[in-house]
Amino acid sequence: MSVAVPTELLSKYDRPGPRYTSYPTVPVWTPEVGDAEYRRALGDLARLPEDELSLYLHLPFCLARCHYCGCNSIVSRDPEIIDGYLDHVERELGLVTSFLGRKRRVVQLHWGGGSPNYLDESQLRRAFGMIRSAFEIEPEGEISIEIDPRIATREQIFLLRELGFNRISLGIQDFDRRVQKAIGRTQHEHPTRELYSACRDAGFESVNLDLIYGLPAQTPESFERTLSTILELRPDRVACYSYAHVPWVRPNQKKVDTTFLPAPNDKFRLFQLAVERFQAAGYEWIGLDHFARSDDELAVALQRRSLHRSFMGYTTRPAEHLLAFGVSGIGDLANRFVQNDSSLDGWQQALESDRLPVVRGHRLSPDDLLRRESILNLMCNLELPFDLTSARFGVRLHEALREELERLRPYEKDGLVRFETDRVAVTETGRFFLRNLCMELDAYLDPTGGKPVFSRTV
């Protein structure tokens, strides 16, 4: 369905803002949460032996750095560095399980990076084996991996399936050659199509393709062609991320020629095009920027209102706690966020002295938990029910966040939300401004704008 969004609204709401993969967001976290607090969190988790776990393993290695990259990646051609990295992951697994005991139940495992498939066969087997011997992975669990198709082979895809991965995500970004040149990433269409077929032949339950809109040299015509190719492939899911140009955080982005970046209105049009094309092809628009075939469990979870959003994106299997391993990994457990050191040396040195390599984090207060639940509801279910979380926190949303709800009134005038008797509902137009709506519930945002740490919302 095509929604006409007036340009005035775009200029009014185009401002820096978080993407809310967490609340409170990372810039709010402090170095006071380190090794000692993580030990306490793990101690608390050990007293909840029945709680299910999600695991994240960060494998940061890549062949070369793409100009637009916003991930914590390490360019290396030295296999010994990767072996050494895995030695340290093994130490980290040992330290964490010394608190929890071995064989805690895991319902979700995700490998991200970097390019996890930069590891060779023996390294992939070793990494998977280490996790399997430390945790009990549910046979029906979500076991997913992100891969760079440019370095993958058909054999590797079958190996990943054999190891136990049942979901796979292929980085595409854009098939247009001009765009690829502008972002320093050459990826030919034909081999990518062959690799996609290999994923289907290997029997992955879900194949996801990643796109990015707002890249340099992208035009509605070029993006339309990329979308047509994606739709021919019929992936189960597509993530269509907004390019966040933040060279002050990611210096590699200084290589992006900003004169080729689409203007905010043009960038918005690119995303609108994606929404139109995917919806017309029978995909459900999930939350902020994902699309799923209507038979995919993400779309089913949307209907059942059981969607969840975390650092790993939208998911259907929310475990109570997320444990992260590897450089820069972010955990979310026992009401704390913890982030590992982003520098390889720092992360390794901590582990060598038997310290947990956490350098920042946040302990969530009851107020944080209520706001977090509210933001999750907006991001997943596109609504704020007034009696939200009343059982969990003994407080009703419309009593605890009265002022914040009032701040949403002007959005109703702009047609972005609708106040109903029992909830605030996001309208079709409002879906494009979800981040802005969430910002009204954020107790930590600097109203003056402060230091520009976030990307722009449009």
With CB under 6 A as the contact rule, which of the stretches 64-72, 201-209, 320-328, 401-409 interacts with ligand SF4? 64-72
Q: Tell me the backbone φ, ψ of residue 395, rounded to 5 degrees.
A: -150, 140
Distance separating alpha carbons of residues 457 and 372, to the nearest angstrom: 19
Inter-residue contact 148 to 116 (CB < 8 Å): no
Taking CB under 6 A as the rule, does residue 166 contact ligand SF4? no
Instruction: Pick the closer one to ligand SF4 by CB: 151 or 443.
Output: 151
* DSSP state, residue 116: G
Please select the residue that binds ligand SF4; options are 45, 59, 66, 119, rule is CB under 6 A.
Answer: 66
Query: With binding defined as CB under 6 A, does residue 212 bind ligand SF4?
Result: no
Q: Is 65 in the site for ligand SF4 (CB under 6 A)?
A: yes
| Torsion-angle region of 53 (φ positive above 0: left; ψ -120 to 50: alpha; else: beta) | beta
Rounded to the nearest angstrom, the gap between the alpha carbon of residue 89 and the centroid of all alpha carbons in its chain is 21
Determine the interface stretch with ligand SF4 among 62-70, 135-143, 186-194, 434-442 (rule: CB under 6 A): 62-70
Interface with ligand SF4 in residues 183-202 (CB under 6 A): none
Segment interacting with ligand SF4 (CB under 6 A) among 20-28, 69-77, 219-227, 445-453: 69-77
Min CB(121)–ligand SF4 separation in Å:
20
Q: Give CA angle at 239 (238, 241), nearest 5°.
A: 145
Residue 287 beta carbon to ligand SF4: minimum distance, rounded to whole angstroms: 22
Q: Which of 174, 442 has the CB closer to ligand SF4? A: 174
Select the residue interacting with ligand SF4 from 54, 73, 328, 436 (CB under 6 A).
Answer: 73
User: Closest CB to ligand SF4 among 13 and 68?
Assistant: 68
**Which DSSP string do the residues of 200-215 spell out, in sequence order?**
HHHT-SEEEEEEEES-
Query: Which of 141/171 has CB closer to ligand SF4?
Result: 171
| Among 39, 41, 65, 70, CA closest to 53 | 41
Question: Does 62 help bind ligand SF4 (rule: CB under 6 A)?
Answer: yes
The SS3 call for residue 422 is: coil
Tell me if 326 contacts ligand SF4 by CB under 6 A. Answer: no
Verify binding: residue 71, ligand SF4, rule CB under 6 A: yes
With tokens 């306490």, the residue in question is 40
HSE value, Cβ hemisphere, 13 Å, CA-based, for 15 = 18
Instruction: For tokens 């969840």, name the residue.
Output: 308
Q: Which is nearer to ligand SF4, 148 or 341 (CB)?
A: 148
Q: Is 344 in the site for ligand SF4 (CB under 6 A)?
A: no
Cβ neighbours around 312 below 10 Å, total: 21
Among 148, 176, 296, 440, binds ligand SF4 (CB under 6 A): 148
94-123 residues in contact with ligand SF4 (CB under 6 A) are: 113-115
- Taking CA atoms, 78 is separated from 118, 127, 143, in Å, by 11, 17, 27
Q: Does 256 bind ligand SF4 (CB under 6 A)?
A: no
Residue 13: φ, ψ to 5°? -105, 0
Strands 290-293 and 237-242: antiparallel
Which C-beta is closer to ligand SF4: that of 105 or that of 150? 150
Return the range that interacts with ligand SF4 (CB under 6 A); candidates 60-68, 100-108, 264-272, 401-409. Answer: 60-68
| DSSP 8-state assignment for residue 243 | P
Residue number, 347 or 432, with CB nearest to ligand SF4: 347
Q: How many residues of this chain bind ligand SF4 (CB under 6 A)?
A: 11
24 vs 60 by CB, closer to ligand SF4: 60
69 makes contact with ligand SF4 (CB under 6 A): yes
- Look up tokens 């090794």; give the residue: 35
Question: With binding defined as CB under 6 A, does residue 171 bind ligand SF4?
Answer: yes
Beta pairing partners, 313: 310
* Closer to ligand SF4 by Cβ: residue 171 or 287: 171
Q: Which residues contact 240 (CB under 8 A, 6 or more apart)?
A: 211, 212, 213, 271, 274, 278, 289, 290, 291
Closest residue to ligand SF4, based on beta-carbon distance: 69
Nearer to ligand SF4, 148 or 284 (CB): 148
Nearer to ligand SF4, 75 or 369 (CB): 75
CA–CA distance, 417 with 400 (Å, rounded to integer): 20
Close Cβ partners of 331 (under 8 Å, ≥ 6 residues apart): 38, 41, 56, 321, 322, 323, 324, 337, 338, 339, 358
CB 297 within 8 A of CB 308: no
Q: Does 174 contact ligand SF4 by CB under 6 A?
A: no
Query: Where do contacts with ligand SF4 occur on this chain (CB under 6 A)?
Result: 62, 65-66, 69, 71, 73, 113-115, 148, 171
